[in-house]
Structure 1
Amino acid sequence: MASQLENCSQEKHNEDAIEVAYLMQATMSSDLQKNMEDMGSFDMIQQLTGMFQKQARQERYDTMKQLIDCKMQEGSSVSADVLTMKGYID
């Protein structure tokens, strides 16, 4: 009985992993899809992390620098400054 439950659980895990891989590919550009069409979701995450981690780190640094350097001018609108900071974060 336990082995049947384990088999069902493993089968469900495999089906979910395939579905996640398809969803990941559906959100990628066509060039990335071609490069990763035979990969599983875990392998895709590893590949994408290697490709984009450095770029993401630089973008976080730049955003934090912009937020730290952002100073409200006397007489300016608070809502305009909040929108400016929100724009940096977005």
Structure 2
Amino acid sequence: MQAEILDLEGKKIGSVTLPEQFHEEERPDLIKRAFLSEASFKFQPKGSFWLAGLQTTAAYYGRRHAWRQTINTGKSRLPREKIEEEAVK
């Protein structure tokens, strides 16, 4: 199989012999598969993280009349994050 070589103005300046791969018939299923494979790299992977919410040192103290109480003190009832000594300085 021969292919024409054109210059910038569209005039034929030569020809070249193409390799054997250009003689095979077109396979739309492989073209679609290759396209989807390349396009899938643009997508952000999604899924649930199995350690979600567990990577913290927070503790919840929800007693009404105890040391470290959080109820009836004007604070929200959320776990309190433990702050490191060096981070406070």
Q: Which has the higher contact order (CA 8 A, sep 6+)?
A: 1
Structure exhibiting the larger radius of gyration computed from Cα positions: 2
**TM-score normalised by structure 1 residue count:** 0.23
TM-score normalised per structure 2: 0.23
